[in-house]
Amino acid sequence: MSIINNIWRLYFDGFREMSSLGRKLWILILIKLFIFFFIIKLFFFPNLLERDYDTDEERAQAVRTHLSVPDSPQPFNLDN
Amino acid sequence: MQDLMTVVDWSRWQFALTAVYHWLFVPLTLGLALIVAIMESIYMRTKSTVWLRTTKFWMTLFGINFAIGVATGLILEFEFGTNWSNYSWFVGDIFGAPLAIEGLLAFFMEATFVAVMFFGWKRVSPRFHLVSTWLTCIGASISALWILVANAWMQYPAGMEFDPAQMRNVMVDFGSLFSGIAINKFFHATLSGWVLAAVFVIAVSSWMLFKERNRRFASRSIKVAAWVGLAGIILTSWTGDGSAVEVARHQPMKLAAMEGLYNGHKPQAISAVALLNPNKRWDNNEPEYLFDISIPHGLSILAKHDANAFVPGIADIINGVEINAEGDTINTVSYAQRIAIGKEAQQYLRDYDNARKAADTLAMTQASTSLKETFKYFGYGYLDSVDEAIPPVALTFYAFRVMVIGGGWLLLFFIIVLICIYRNRWMQDSHLMQWICFLTLPIVYLVSQAGWIVAEVGRQPWTVQDLLPRSAAISNISASSVVITFWMFAIIFTILLIAEISIMCRQISRGSKTNFDKV
């Protein structure tokens, strides 16, 4: 229990007593992660196979169709 | 097809952009972590507050770089799922496993001990703090190991079997991921991080000497960095030699492109300095170089560790010509044959698909067996001509020379810096020497990026060597969506880079005004 408490204190006191540079860097990290995960990933970079198919079997079929008949249009599209 | 090429090209530019930006941060993290760990070890041994202040200063710069660089590599994984969905499915758990280990084990290890490094000065024992600093350094390198293992598998796919039912490569031998290419790539890339960070420390310290501030602090820092840099550049050269041998063995086309070599000889010279002939093609008789200074036997020694070995050129590889150690000409599989075998493999995949739809188990087994036998050249089936299998020769050739000539300068640089810092006061008093140190900073970044250009451009057109060219790996997305996100990334990463440079400069300037030299 004291180990958990010590770890908690390390982080809690660490953040509380952080320098202005440290705070600035943390704000930068959080803004960056927000942009990456909640804007870029969500709106611009969906995993197309995950989004458009429910099962791995369907995903495999989609890739098989495309790779075995290279000129065939893929059954998924970013504009869907 | 035209639109597809545009999507491929924009997706490649986007991937290159994000990878280049990511690699601006990574090597500094890898190398600075080591330098800080060494400085803290010296502090622990000497108990000198001067070394404590030195450690803390560089640790702060490490923290800035770590904070701004962290997670920039995630963008590359986003791109796999959207721009390169066929690729990301095709590589299956081979690629997924190392990246998952990297995320779960190495990154969390690194992140946990980074917290102790920055928050733990007064809360944990000095010994535990030192261990945490070293574990951060080791964690960063282990993190790089898994990424580089995944990259190496793309260059030399091994330890897997393709399963047409899952349409993925399935790992059958985890140990094969640690191929010669992977081991050399890991050490080559990680050690190059030592070199880059060493130049960074020397350049910043030289600025302090230039401003006549904290001269003892700067000299101490330069000594540690120069030794790390010298060890780093020697070991990087050694692993570079190992990489060349592996490339000659598994990616001869890349080696030929690195040398601009179209027709190999036995023995084969290496061009130290050369100007490529832009009119040279693999199937014409134009000379390879407009001008060159060659070292006899050089490429035979570099690629085969045999002064008289034959090294095939681009035309030899395309025509399937090789000369063995006894000097006999032997025929390998020509690229025209590979394309034919690749198209045959595609037909087996179609047969498998039809049999599967008809629930014909016997036909599925037959198609699967035939596919397995021809799978080695599966990717060539997507090429319409052998020309498509040649990487961009000029970019690979010149990037290789930037890397090697720049690496040679760095070796000389660290020797000069060590002589100057120990033997006399040139380093402290010579503005010329200090300027040389500043100017070497952009050079080391250029050399570092050139190394990746050689590795990645030289293996084109493959996303997975011989198995999946980029035209088959791409998703069916519109070029305009890639163009939008390309510029979005360009802006975001440029802002991050400006933030990094401005925060670093401010911190260095503030640090230089603090008296680190007081005892």
- Please report the sign of the dihedral spanned by the C-alpha atoms of residue B109, residue B111, residue B114, residue B119: negative
Q: Are B69 and B179 in contact (CB under 8 A)?
A: no
Residue B182's Cβ-count burial label (10 Å; 0-12, 13-18, 19+) is: buried
- CB-based burial, B289-324: b 16+ in 10 Å, e otherwise: beebeeeebbbbbbbbeeeebbbbbbbbbbbbbbbe
Chain A residue numbers with beta carbons less than 8 Å from the beta carbon of B484 are 44
Q: Are A74 and A52 in contact (CB under 8 A)?
A: no
- Helix or strand (DSSP H, E) at B169: strand B168-171
**Residues in chain A whose beta carbon is closer than 8 A to a beta carbon of chain B?**
6, 9-11, 13-15, 21-22, 24-26, 28-29, 32-33, 35-36, 40-41, 44-50, 56, 59-61, 63-70, 73-74, 76-79
Chain B residue numbers with beta carbons less than 8 Å from the beta carbon of A80 are none
Q: State the complex-level ipTM.
A: 0.83
| The two three-digit tokens of residue A34, written as one number | 């927000």
Give the distance, in angstroms, between the CA of residue B74 and the centroid of all CA atoms in the same chain. 17
Output the tens digit of pLDDT for each of chain A's 80 residues: 688 888 888 888 888 888 888 888 889 889 988 988 888 888 888 888 888 899 999 999 999 988 887 665 554 444 43
- The residue type of A2 is S
How far apart CA B204 and CA B208 sit, in angstroms, is 7
Of A10, A32, A76, the CB nearest to B71: A32
Give the distance, in angstroms, between the CA of residue B106 and the centroid of all CA atoms in the same chain. 19
- Nearest Cα to B251, choosing from B396, B465, B457? B465
Q: Tell whether B483 is within 8 A of chain A (Cβ).
A: no
What pLDDT, on a 0 to 100 scale, did the predictor assign at position A1? 63
How far apart CA B380 and CA B515 sit, in angstroms, is 64
How far apart CA B144 and CA B102 sit, in angstroms, is 8
- Most confident range (mean pLDDT) of B90-99, B326-335, B460-469 is B460-469
Mean pLDDT of B267-293: 92
Mean pLDDT of B66-77: 84
Give the pLDDT confidence of B414-457 residue by residue, as tens digits. 999 999 998 867 788 889 999 999 999 999 999 999 999 999 99
What pLDDT, on a 0 to 100 scale, did the predictor assign at position A78? 41
pLDDT of B1 higher than 50: no
Against a cut of 0.90, is the pTM above it? yes
Give the pLDDT confidence of B110-160 residue by residue, as tens digits. 778 888 998 888 888 999 999 999 999 998 898 899 889 999 999 999 889
DSSP letter assigned to residue B293 = E
Neighbour count for residue B159 (Cβ, 10 Å): 17
**Which ranges constitute the DSSP H helices of B251-321?**
252-259, 298-304, 314-319
DSSP state string for B79-116: HHHHTTHHHHHHTHHHHHHHHHHIIIIIHHHHHHHHHH
- Helix or strand (DSSP H, E) at B166: none
* Crossing angle for the helix pair B180-210 and B479-513, to the nearest 10 degrees: 40
- The residue type of B332 is T
B162 to B42, B85, B93: CA distances (angstroms):
52, 17, 11
Q: Which residues contact A15 (CB under 8 A, 6 or more apart)?
A: A26, B119
B424 to B161, B164, B208, B224, B447: CA distances (angstroms):
61, 68, 18, 17, 29
- The alpha carbon of residue A16 is apart from the nearest alpha carbon of chain B, in Å, by 10
- CB-based burial, B5-15: b 16+ in 10 Å, e otherwise: eebbebbbebb
* Cβ within 8 Å, pair A78-B86: no
| The two three-digit tokens of residue A15, written as one number | 């953040």
B503 to B63, B269, B285, B500: CA distances (angstroms):
11, 48, 55, 5
Length of chain B: 519
How far apart CA B78 and CA A36 sit, in angstroms, is 9
* Cβ within 8 Å, pair B166-A45: no
Q: Are B418 and B230 in contact (CB under 8 A)?
A: yes
| The two three-digit tokens of residue B438, written as one number | 């500043």
| The two three-digit tokens of residue B479, written as one number | 């070029």
B171 forms beta bridges with: B160
CA torsion angle A23 A24 A30 A36 (round to 10): -160
